[in-house]
Amino acid sequence: MKKYALYSMVTATLLFFNSCATNPVTGKREVALMSEEQEIAMGQESDPQIVAQFGLYQNPTLQRFIQEKGQAMAAVSHRPNLKYEFKIVDSPVLNAFAVPGGYVYFTRGIMAHFNSEAQFAGVLGHEIGHITARHTIQQQSKAILTQGVLLGGMIAFPELGGQFGEAAMQGASLLFLKFGRDAERQSDELGVEYSTKIGYDAAHMADFFQTLQRQSSQSGAEEIPSFLSTHPSPADRYSTVQQLAAQWRQKVPGTQLEEGRNSYLRMIDGIIYGEDPRQGFVENQVFYHPELKFQFPIPNGWRYQNSPQQVQMAPADGKALMFLRLAQGTSLQEAGQQFLQQNGLQAVESKQVTVNGLPALAIIGQMAPQQQQQTQKQQQQQEPIGTLTYLIQYGGNIYNITGVTAASTFNTYAPSFQNTMQSFRQLTDQEKINRKPEVVRIKTVNQNGTLSQVLQSFNTPTNRLEELAILNGMQLSEQVQKGTLIKVVER
Protein backbone atom coordinates (compact mmCIF):
# COMPACT_ATOMS: atom_id res chain seq x y z
CA MET A 1 0.00 0.00 0.00
CA LYS A 2 2.89 2.35 0.79
CA LYS A 3 4.44 1.66 -2.61
CA TYR A 4 1.09 2.28 -4.31
CA ALA A 5 0.59 5.55 -2.41
CA LEU A 6 4.09 6.72 -3.30
CA TYR A 7 3.51 5.82 -6.97
CA SER A 8 0.20 7.70 -6.98
CA MET A 9 1.81 10.76 -5.42
CA VAL A 10 4.63 10.79 -7.99
CA THR A 11 2.15 10.32 -10.84
CA ALA A 12 -0.05 13.14 -9.56
CA THR A 13 2.98 15.41 -9.19
CA LEU A 14 4.11 14.68 -12.75
CA LEU A 15 0.61 15.31 -14.08
CA PHE A 16 0.46 18.60 -12.18
CA PHE A 17 3.73 19.92 -13.59
CA ASN A 18 2.95 18.64 -17.09
CA SER A 19 -0.33 20.56 -16.98
CA CYS A 20 1.33 23.79 -15.87
CA ALA A 21 1.80 26.67 -18.28
CA THR A 22 3.20 30.17 -18.03
CA ASN A 23 0.57 32.88 -17.66
CA PRO A 24 1.29 35.48 -20.39
CA VAL A 25 0.28 38.37 -18.09
CA THR A 26 1.93 37.43 -14.79
CA GLY A 27 4.77 35.28 -16.10
CA LYS A 28 3.98 32.71 -13.37
CA ARG A 29 3.44 28.99 -13.80
CA GLU A 30 -0.12 27.84 -13.26
CA VAL A 31 -2.27 24.77 -13.85
CA ALA A 32 -3.83 24.66 -17.31
CA LEU A 33 -5.64 21.50 -18.35
CA MET A 34 -5.62 22.43 -22.02
CA SER A 35 -3.08 23.68 -24.51
CA GLU A 36 -3.36 26.90 -26.47
CA GLU A 37 -4.37 24.84 -29.51
CA GLN A 38 -7.21 23.28 -27.50
CA GLU A 39 -8.20 26.71 -26.23
CA ILE A 40 -8.44 28.05 -29.78
CA ALA A 41 -10.39 24.98 -30.91
CA MET A 42 -12.85 25.47 -28.04
CA GLY A 43 -13.47 29.07 -29.10
CA GLN A 44 -13.95 28.04 -32.72
CA GLU A 45 -16.51 25.45 -31.65
CA SER A 46 -18.36 27.79 -29.29
CA ASP A 47 -18.57 30.78 -31.63
CA PRO A 48 -21.21 29.44 -34.07
CA GLN A 49 -23.31 28.24 -31.11
CA ILE A 50 -23.23 31.68 -29.50
CA VAL A 51 -24.04 33.43 -32.77
CA ALA A 52 -26.91 31.00 -33.38
CA GLN A 53 -28.18 31.49 -29.84
CA PHE A 54 -28.27 35.29 -29.92
CA GLY A 55 -27.91 36.31 -33.56
CA LEU A 56 -25.62 39.08 -34.79
CA TYR A 57 -26.84 42.65 -34.53
CA GLN A 58 -27.34 43.90 -38.08
CA ASN A 59 -25.42 47.17 -37.96
CA PRO A 60 -22.28 47.18 -40.18
CA THR A 61 -21.00 50.44 -38.68
CA LEU A 62 -21.01 49.14 -35.11
CA GLN A 63 -19.68 45.72 -36.12
CA ARG A 64 -16.80 47.40 -37.95
CA PHE A 65 -16.16 49.67 -34.95
CA ILE A 66 -15.83 46.81 -32.45
CA GLN A 67 -13.59 44.88 -34.84
CA GLU A 68 -11.26 47.84 -35.47
CA LYS A 69 -10.92 48.79 -31.80
CA GLY A 70 -10.66 45.16 -30.75
CA GLN A 71 -7.88 44.36 -33.19
CA ALA A 72 -5.97 47.52 -32.21
CA MET A 73 -6.22 46.53 -28.56
CA ALA A 74 -5.33 42.90 -29.23
CA ALA A 75 -2.14 44.05 -30.93
CA VAL A 76 -0.91 45.74 -27.73
CA SER A 77 -2.12 42.94 -25.43
CA HIS A 78 -0.08 40.18 -23.79
CA ARG A 79 -1.25 37.64 -26.39
CA PRO A 80 -1.11 39.38 -29.79
CA ASN A 81 -0.56 36.03 -31.53
CA LEU A 82 -4.18 34.91 -31.09
CA LYS A 83 -6.65 35.39 -33.92
CA TYR A 84 -9.26 37.54 -32.18
CA GLU A 85 -12.86 38.03 -33.23
CA PHE A 86 -15.17 40.73 -31.86
CA LYS A 87 -18.92 40.69 -32.38
CA ILE A 88 -22.06 42.50 -31.26
CA VAL A 89 -24.89 40.06 -30.63
CA ASP A 90 -28.56 40.88 -30.89
CA SER A 91 -29.59 40.81 -27.25
CA PRO A 92 -31.14 43.57 -25.11
CA VAL A 93 -29.34 42.31 -21.99
CA LEU A 94 -26.67 44.69 -20.71
CA ASN A 95 -23.63 42.43 -20.97
CA ALA A 96 -20.23 41.60 -22.44
CA PHE A 97 -18.38 38.28 -22.25
CA ALA A 98 -15.39 36.39 -23.63
CA VAL A 99 -14.73 32.72 -24.42
CA PRO A 100 -11.42 30.91 -24.88
CA GLY A 101 -9.30 31.43 -27.96
CA GLY A 102 -9.88 35.13 -28.55
CA TYR A 103 -13.64 35.53 -28.98
CA VAL A 104 -15.31 38.60 -27.43
CA TYR A 105 -19.01 39.45 -27.55
CA PHE A 106 -20.89 42.65 -26.66
CA THR A 107 -24.67 42.83 -26.63
CA ARG A 108 -26.49 45.68 -28.32
CA GLY A 109 -27.89 46.31 -24.84
CA ILE A 110 -24.50 47.26 -23.44
CA MET A 111 -23.61 49.23 -26.59
CA ALA A 112 -26.72 51.37 -26.01
CA HIS A 113 -25.60 52.14 -22.44
CA PHE A 114 -22.07 53.34 -23.19
CA ASN A 115 -21.73 57.11 -23.34
CA SER A 116 -18.29 57.40 -24.89
CA GLU A 117 -15.68 55.50 -26.85
CA ALA A 118 -13.52 55.51 -23.70
CA GLN A 119 -16.17 53.66 -21.68
CA PHE A 120 -16.52 51.12 -24.49
CA ALA A 121 -12.74 50.71 -24.76
CA GLY A 122 -12.34 50.09 -21.02
CA VAL A 123 -14.86 47.25 -21.04
CA LEU A 124 -13.38 45.88 -24.26
CA GLY A 125 -9.95 45.81 -22.62
CA HIS A 126 -11.47 44.10 -19.58
CA GLU A 127 -12.86 41.27 -21.72
CA ILE A 128 -9.62 40.89 -23.67
CA GLY A 129 -7.92 40.72 -20.28
CA HIS A 130 -9.92 37.60 -19.40
CA ILE A 131 -8.43 35.96 -22.50
CA THR A 132 -4.86 37.19 -22.18
CA ALA A 133 -4.66 36.22 -18.48
CA ARG A 134 -6.17 32.83 -19.37
CA HIS A 135 -9.10 33.26 -16.98
CA THR A 136 -11.32 31.42 -19.46
CA ILE A 137 -8.94 28.45 -19.37
CA GLN A 138 -8.96 28.41 -15.58
CA GLN A 139 -12.75 28.35 -15.60
CA GLN A 140 -12.92 25.70 -18.31
CA SER A 141 -10.47 23.60 -16.30
CA LYS A 142 -12.92 23.78 -13.39
CA ALA A 143 -15.68 22.76 -15.78
CA ILE A 144 -13.71 19.72 -16.90
CA LEU A 145 -13.03 18.69 -13.30
CA THR A 146 -16.64 19.10 -12.12
CA GLN A 147 -18.67 18.57 -15.29
CA GLY A 148 -20.20 15.30 -14.12
CA VAL A 149 -21.52 16.94 -10.95
CA LEU A 150 -22.88 20.01 -12.70
CA LEU A 151 -24.75 18.44 -15.56
CA GLY A 152 -26.80 16.33 -13.18
CA GLY A 153 -28.30 19.50 -11.74
CA MET A 154 -28.39 21.69 -14.83
CA ILE A 155 -31.76 20.54 -16.12
CA ALA A 156 -34.57 18.42 -14.83
CA PHE A 157 -33.99 15.65 -17.38
CA PRO A 158 -30.28 15.13 -18.15
CA GLU A 159 -31.02 11.62 -19.42
CA LEU A 160 -32.85 12.95 -22.47
CA GLY A 161 -30.26 13.10 -25.25
CA GLY A 162 -30.18 14.72 -28.67
CA GLN A 163 -31.18 18.36 -28.91
CA PHE A 164 -32.13 18.58 -25.22
CA GLY A 165 -28.67 17.39 -24.17
CA GLU A 166 -27.04 20.00 -26.39
CA ALA A 167 -29.08 22.71 -24.68
CA ALA A 168 -27.83 21.50 -21.30
CA MET A 169 -24.21 21.66 -22.40
CA GLN A 170 -24.66 25.22 -23.69
CA GLY A 171 -26.17 26.19 -20.34
CA ALA A 172 -23.20 24.76 -18.45
CA SER A 173 -20.80 26.67 -20.68
CA LEU A 174 -22.60 29.95 -19.98
CA LEU A 175 -22.40 29.41 -16.23
CA PHE A 176 -18.64 29.04 -16.44
CA LEU A 177 -18.25 32.45 -18.03
CA LYS A 178 -18.40 33.88 -14.51
CA PHE A 179 -15.03 34.69 -12.95
CA GLY A 180 -13.78 35.16 -9.39
CA ARG A 181 -13.04 38.51 -7.80
CA ASP A 182 -9.27 38.24 -8.28
CA ALA A 183 -9.74 37.56 -11.98
CA GLU A 184 -12.10 40.51 -12.28
CA ARG A 185 -9.66 42.86 -10.57
CA GLN A 186 -6.89 41.72 -12.86
CA SER A 187 -9.10 42.23 -15.92
CA ASP A 188 -9.95 45.73 -14.71
CA GLU A 189 -6.22 46.47 -14.53
CA LEU A 190 -5.70 45.10 -18.02
CA GLY A 191 -8.69 47.07 -19.31
CA VAL A 192 -7.09 50.27 -18.05
CA GLU A 193 -3.72 49.31 -19.55
CA TYR A 194 -4.98 48.25 -22.98
CA SER A 195 -7.43 51.13 -23.45
CA THR A 196 -4.75 53.67 -22.43
CA LYS A 197 -2.29 52.15 -24.88
CA ILE A 198 -4.66 52.75 -27.80
CA GLY A 199 -5.28 56.36 -26.76
CA TYR A 200 -8.32 56.44 -24.45
CA ASP A 201 -8.73 57.99 -21.01
CA ALA A 202 -9.41 54.92 -18.86
CA ALA A 203 -10.91 57.01 -16.05
CA HIS A 204 -14.19 56.91 -17.98
CA MET A 205 -14.23 53.13 -17.61
CA ALA A 206 -14.86 53.72 -13.90
CA ASP A 207 -17.91 55.87 -14.69
CA PHE A 208 -19.50 52.98 -16.54
CA PHE A 209 -19.34 50.74 -13.48
CA GLN A 210 -21.77 53.13 -11.80
CA THR A 211 -24.14 52.77 -14.76
CA LEU A 212 -23.93 48.99 -14.39
CA GLN A 213 -24.70 49.16 -10.70
CA ARG A 214 -27.66 51.51 -11.16
CA GLN A 215 -29.08 49.37 -13.94
CA SER A 216 -28.72 46.21 -11.87
CA SER A 217 -30.41 47.85 -8.87
CA GLN A 218 -33.29 49.14 -10.97
CA SER A 219 -34.01 45.87 -12.76
CA GLY A 220 -33.75 43.78 -9.59
CA ALA A 221 -32.82 40.81 -11.76
CA GLU A 222 -29.60 39.12 -12.73
CA GLU A 223 -28.94 37.71 -16.19
CA ILE A 224 -26.51 34.91 -17.00
CA PRO A 225 -23.77 35.56 -17.87
CA SER A 226 -23.85 38.75 -15.77
CA PHE A 227 -21.18 41.40 -16.13
CA LEU A 228 -21.54 42.33 -12.47
CA SER A 229 -21.68 38.79 -11.08
CA THR A 230 -18.88 37.97 -8.62
CA HIS A 231 -17.28 41.35 -9.39
CA PRO A 232 -15.70 43.52 -6.68
CA SER A 233 -17.77 46.19 -4.95
CA PRO A 234 -18.66 48.93 -7.49
CA ALA A 235 -17.49 51.63 -5.05
CA ASP A 236 -14.10 49.97 -4.53
CA ARG A 237 -13.86 49.24 -8.22
CA TYR A 238 -14.52 52.86 -9.13
CA SER A 239 -11.74 54.14 -6.88
CA THR A 240 -9.28 51.46 -7.98
CA VAL A 241 -9.83 52.09 -11.68
CA GLN A 242 -9.50 55.85 -11.17
CA GLN A 243 -6.13 55.33 -9.46
CA LEU A 244 -4.93 52.92 -12.16
CA ALA A 245 -5.99 55.34 -14.89
CA ALA A 246 -4.01 58.14 -13.23
CA GLN A 247 -0.95 55.88 -13.03
CA TRP A 248 -1.19 54.96 -16.70
CA ARG A 249 -1.58 58.61 -17.73
CA GLN A 250 1.84 59.19 -16.17
CA LYS A 251 3.27 56.28 -18.18
CA VAL A 252 2.28 57.89 -21.49
CA PRO A 253 3.32 61.54 -21.01
CA GLY A 254 2.54 63.85 -23.90
CA THR A 255 -0.21 61.55 -25.22
CA GLN A 256 -3.61 63.18 -25.67
CA LEU A 257 -6.01 60.60 -24.23
CA GLU A 258 -9.52 60.77 -25.67
CA GLU A 259 -13.02 60.39 -24.30
CA GLY A 260 -14.86 60.29 -27.64
CA ARG A 261 -18.28 61.13 -26.21
CA ASN A 262 -19.98 62.88 -29.12
CA SER A 263 -18.48 60.61 -31.76
CA TYR A 264 -19.78 57.53 -29.92
CA LEU A 265 -23.25 58.95 -29.34
CA ARG A 266 -23.65 59.87 -33.00
CA MET A 267 -22.55 56.37 -33.99
CA ILE A 268 -25.23 54.61 -31.89
CA ASP A 269 -28.06 56.91 -33.02
CA GLY A 270 -30.88 54.56 -34.00
CA ILE A 271 -29.64 51.47 -32.10
CA ILE A 272 -32.51 49.19 -31.03
CA TYR A 273 -33.29 49.56 -27.33
CA GLY A 274 -34.82 46.76 -25.30
CA GLU A 275 -36.72 43.87 -26.86
CA ASP A 276 -37.05 43.84 -30.64
CA PRO A 277 -40.71 42.96 -31.33
CA ARG A 278 -39.83 41.80 -34.84
CA GLN A 279 -38.10 38.80 -33.27
CA GLY A 280 -41.12 38.01 -31.16
CA PHE A 281 -42.52 39.54 -27.97
CA VAL A 282 -44.80 38.66 -25.08
CA GLU A 283 -47.81 40.72 -24.08
CA ASN A 284 -50.39 39.60 -21.53
CA GLN A 285 -48.93 36.07 -21.49
CA VAL A 286 -49.22 35.68 -25.27
CA PHE A 287 -46.18 35.30 -27.52
CA TYR A 288 -46.45 37.12 -30.85
CA HIS A 289 -44.09 36.80 -33.81
CA PRO A 290 -44.83 39.65 -36.26
CA GLU A 291 -42.55 38.47 -39.07
CA LEU A 292 -43.60 34.80 -39.05
CA LYS A 293 -47.17 35.86 -38.18
CA PHE A 294 -48.08 33.37 -35.47
CA GLN A 295 -49.10 33.55 -31.82
CA PHE A 296 -49.57 31.20 -28.88
CA PRO A 297 -50.21 31.59 -25.13
CA ILE A 298 -47.58 31.02 -22.44
CA PRO A 299 -48.94 29.17 -19.38
CA ASN A 300 -49.64 31.45 -16.42
CA GLY A 301 -46.68 31.79 -14.09
CA TRP A 302 -44.26 30.24 -16.56
CA ARG A 303 -41.00 31.98 -17.47
CA TYR A 304 -39.83 32.25 -21.03
CA GLN A 305 -36.69 32.91 -23.04
CA ASN A 306 -36.71 33.90 -26.69
CA SER A 307 -33.78 33.40 -29.06
CA PRO A 308 -33.39 33.14 -32.87
CA GLN A 309 -33.40 29.34 -32.53
CA GLN A 310 -36.32 28.73 -30.22
CA VAL A 311 -38.73 29.94 -27.57
CA GLN A 312 -38.35 28.10 -24.25
CA MET A 313 -40.90 28.08 -21.45
CA ALA A 314 -40.76 26.56 -17.97
CA PRO A 315 -42.69 26.76 -14.68
CA ALA A 316 -40.97 28.25 -11.64
CA ASP A 317 -40.39 24.78 -10.09
CA GLY A 318 -38.41 23.69 -13.15
CA LYS A 319 -40.23 20.36 -13.35
CA ALA A 320 -41.30 20.79 -16.95
CA LEU A 321 -39.97 22.32 -20.14
CA MET A 322 -41.77 23.43 -23.29
CA PHE A 323 -40.20 24.85 -26.43
CA LEU A 324 -41.11 25.95 -29.93
CA ARG A 325 -38.61 25.63 -32.77
CA LEU A 326 -38.59 24.87 -36.48
CA ALA A 327 -38.81 21.16 -37.27
CA GLN A 328 -36.68 19.28 -39.76
CA GLY A 329 -38.37 17.46 -42.62
CA THR A 330 -40.57 18.22 -45.61
CA SER A 331 -43.74 16.59 -44.24
CA LEU A 332 -45.35 16.22 -40.84
CA GLN A 333 -44.64 12.48 -40.79
CA GLU A 334 -40.99 12.94 -41.76
CA ALA A 335 -40.56 15.71 -39.19
CA GLY A 336 -42.08 13.45 -36.50
CA GLN A 337 -39.82 10.53 -37.32
CA GLN A 338 -36.69 12.69 -37.31
CA PHE A 339 -37.60 14.25 -33.98
CA LEU A 340 -38.20 10.88 -32.33
CA GLN A 341 -34.98 9.37 -33.68
CA GLN A 342 -32.80 12.34 -32.80
CA ASN A 343 -33.99 12.31 -29.19
CA GLY A 344 -34.13 8.58 -28.54
CA LEU A 345 -37.92 8.55 -28.22
CA GLN A 346 -40.67 6.19 -29.31
CA ALA A 347 -44.25 7.16 -30.06
CA VAL A 348 -46.85 5.89 -27.59
CA GLU A 349 -49.59 7.57 -29.60
CA SER A 350 -49.55 9.53 -32.85
CA LYS A 351 -52.49 11.09 -34.70
CA GLN A 352 -53.19 13.70 -37.33
CA VAL A 353 -55.12 16.68 -35.99
CA THR A 354 -56.09 20.20 -36.98
CA VAL A 355 -54.98 23.22 -34.96
CA ASN A 356 -57.10 26.28 -35.75
CA GLY A 357 -57.41 25.20 -39.36
CA LEU A 358 -53.74 24.18 -39.71
CA PRO A 359 -52.67 20.57 -40.43
CA ALA A 360 -50.79 19.06 -37.50
CA LEU A 361 -49.45 15.84 -36.04
CA ALA A 362 -49.76 15.15 -32.29
CA ILE A 363 -47.33 12.67 -30.71
CA ILE A 364 -47.11 11.37 -27.16
CA GLY A 365 -43.59 10.05 -26.67
CA GLN A 366 -41.45 8.23 -24.17
CA MET A 367 -37.85 7.05 -24.09
CA ALA A 368 -37.14 4.18 -26.47
CA PRO A 369 -36.26 0.85 -24.76
CA GLN A 370 -32.58 1.10 -25.75
CA GLN A 371 -32.41 4.66 -24.40
CA GLN A 372 -34.09 3.53 -21.18
CA GLN A 373 -31.50 0.79 -20.66
CA GLN A 374 -28.66 3.25 -21.12
CA THR A 375 -30.30 5.68 -18.73
CA GLN A 376 -30.84 3.03 -16.05
CA LYS A 377 -27.15 2.21 -16.09
CA GLN A 378 -26.11 5.86 -15.87
CA GLN A 379 -28.85 7.31 -13.64
CA GLN A 380 -30.35 4.62 -11.43
CA GLN A 381 -32.46 7.16 -9.54
CA GLN A 382 -33.83 9.04 -12.56
CA GLU A 383 -37.37 8.27 -13.57
CA PRO A 384 -38.36 8.12 -17.26
CA ILE A 385 -39.72 11.14 -19.06
CA GLY A 386 -42.82 11.77 -21.11
CA THR A 387 -43.25 14.16 -24.00
CA LEU A 388 -46.11 15.72 -25.90
CA THR A 389 -45.27 17.12 -29.33
CA TYR A 390 -47.40 19.03 -31.81
CA LEU A 391 -45.94 19.45 -35.30
CA ILE A 392 -47.88 22.21 -37.05
CA GLN A 393 -47.62 23.11 -40.74
CA TYR A 394 -47.98 26.83 -41.39
CA GLY A 395 -46.54 29.49 -43.70
CA GLY A 396 -44.13 27.15 -45.48
CA ASN A 397 -42.65 25.92 -42.17
CA ILE A 398 -43.27 23.06 -39.78
CA TYR A 399 -43.27 24.20 -36.16
CA ASN A 400 -42.36 21.80 -33.38
CA ILE A 401 -43.92 22.56 -29.99
CA THR A 402 -42.79 19.98 -27.42
CA GLY A 403 -43.50 19.65 -23.73
CA VAL A 404 -41.19 17.53 -21.55
CA THR A 405 -41.65 16.34 -17.98
CA ALA A 406 -41.18 13.26 -15.80
CA ALA A 407 -43.56 10.38 -16.53
CA SER A 408 -45.01 10.68 -13.02
CA THR A 409 -45.97 14.34 -13.58
CA PHE A 410 -46.96 14.05 -17.23
CA ASN A 411 -50.69 14.16 -16.50
CA THR A 412 -50.14 17.23 -14.31
CA TYR A 413 -48.45 19.26 -17.03
CA ALA A 414 -50.18 17.81 -20.11
CA PRO A 415 -53.13 20.28 -19.90
CA SER A 416 -50.68 23.23 -19.95
CA PHE A 417 -48.82 21.69 -22.89
CA GLN A 418 -52.06 21.07 -24.80
CA ASN A 419 -53.49 24.52 -24.18
CA THR A 420 -50.41 26.20 -25.63
CA MET A 421 -50.11 23.81 -28.57
CA GLN A 422 -53.79 23.80 -29.51
CA SER A 423 -53.94 27.60 -29.25
CA PHE A 424 -51.19 28.15 -31.85
CA ARG A 425 -52.74 30.26 -34.59
CA GLN A 426 -52.15 32.75 -37.37
CA LEU A 427 -51.41 36.29 -36.23
CA THR A 428 -53.70 38.77 -37.98
CA ASP A 429 -53.74 41.72 -35.58
CA GLN A 430 -52.13 44.51 -37.62
CA GLU A 431 -51.13 46.45 -34.51
CA LYS A 432 -49.05 43.46 -33.36
CA ILE A 433 -47.70 42.78 -36.86
CA ASN A 434 -46.60 46.39 -37.33
CA ARG A 435 -45.19 46.87 -33.81
CA LYS A 436 -41.96 48.84 -34.06
CA PRO A 437 -38.99 48.54 -31.70
CA GLU A 438 -37.85 51.37 -29.50
CA VAL A 439 -34.59 52.98 -30.60
CA VAL A 440 -32.07 55.35 -29.04
CA ARG A 441 -32.14 58.81 -30.59
CA ILE A 442 -29.46 61.43 -30.00
CA LYS A 443 -30.78 64.93 -29.35
CA THR A 444 -29.07 68.30 -28.92
CA VAL A 445 -30.09 70.17 -25.76
CA ASN A 446 -31.71 73.51 -26.67
CA GLN A 447 -31.32 75.30 -23.32
CA ASN A 448 -29.62 74.88 -19.96
CA GLY A 449 -31.45 72.85 -17.33
CA THR A 450 -31.41 69.74 -15.20
CA LEU A 451 -31.39 66.38 -16.97
CA SER A 452 -34.93 65.85 -15.70
CA GLN A 453 -36.09 69.09 -17.33
CA VAL A 454 -34.25 68.31 -20.55
CA LEU A 455 -35.70 64.80 -20.83
CA GLN A 456 -39.23 66.09 -20.19
CA SER A 457 -38.73 68.70 -22.92
CA PHE A 458 -38.27 65.74 -25.29
CA ASN A 459 -41.56 64.19 -24.08
CA THR A 460 -40.04 61.50 -21.85
CA PRO A 461 -42.78 60.03 -19.61
CA THR A 462 -42.32 60.69 -15.91
CA ASN A 463 -42.18 56.98 -15.06
CA ARG A 464 -39.18 56.53 -17.40
CA LEU A 465 -37.05 59.48 -16.26
CA GLU A 466 -34.77 57.41 -14.01
CA GLU A 467 -34.41 54.76 -16.73
CA LEU A 468 -33.25 57.44 -19.20
CA ALA A 469 -30.94 58.99 -16.60
CA ILE A 470 -29.19 55.63 -16.26
CA LEU A 471 -29.05 55.28 -20.04
CA ASN A 472 -27.28 58.67 -20.18
CA GLY A 473 -24.96 57.86 -17.27
CA MET A 474 -26.19 60.96 -15.43
CA GLN A 475 -28.32 61.96 -12.42
CA LEU A 476 -31.72 63.59 -12.96
CA SER A 477 -30.61 66.61 -10.89
CA GLU A 478 -27.43 67.07 -12.92
CA GLN A 479 -27.10 70.35 -14.85
CA VAL A 480 -26.96 69.94 -18.64
CA GLN A 481 -25.60 72.72 -20.83
CA LYS A 482 -27.11 73.92 -24.07
CA GLY A 483 -25.57 72.10 -27.05
CA THR A 484 -24.94 68.86 -25.12
CA LEU A 485 -25.87 65.59 -26.84
CA ILE A 486 -28.15 63.30 -24.86
CA LYS A 487 -30.03 60.06 -25.47
CA VAL A 488 -33.79 59.69 -25.62
CA VAL A 489 -35.89 56.67 -26.56
CA GLU A 490 -38.44 56.75 -29.36
CA ARG A 491 -40.49 54.16 -31.20
Q: Domain boundaries in the chain?
A: 18-267, 277-433, 437-490
> According to the model, what pLDDT value does residue 48 have?
92
> According to the model, what pLDDT value does residue 448 have?
97
Higher-confidence residue of 366 and 10: namely: 366
- Round the average pLDDT of the chain to a whole number and report it: 83
* Residue 20 pLDDT level (bands cut at 50, 70, 90): low
pLDDT of residue 147 exceeding 80, the answer is: no
pLDDT, tens digit (0-9, with 9 covering 90-100), for 285-337: 999 999 999 999 999 999 988 888 889 999 988 899 999 999 999 999 999 99
198 by Cβ neighbours in 10 Å (0-12 / 13-18 / 19+) ranks as: middle
Query: Is the domain defined by 277-433 classed in CATH 3.30.1330.180?
Result: no
> According to the model, what pLDDT value does residue 373 have?
52
pLDDT of residue 420 exceeding 80, the answer is: yes
* Residue 144 pLDDT level (bands cut at 50, 70, 90): very low
pLDDT, tens digit (0-9, with 9 covering 90-100), for 109-133: 999 999 999 999 999 999 999 999 8
pLDDT, tens digit (0-9, with 9 covering 90-100), for 230-274: 455 666 788 899 999 999 999 998 889 999 999 999 999 999 999
pLDDT of residue 11 exceeding 50, the answer is: no
* Residue 169 pLDDT level (bands cut at 50, 70, 90): very low
Strand partners, 321: 404
The pTM assigned to this predicted structure is: 0.78
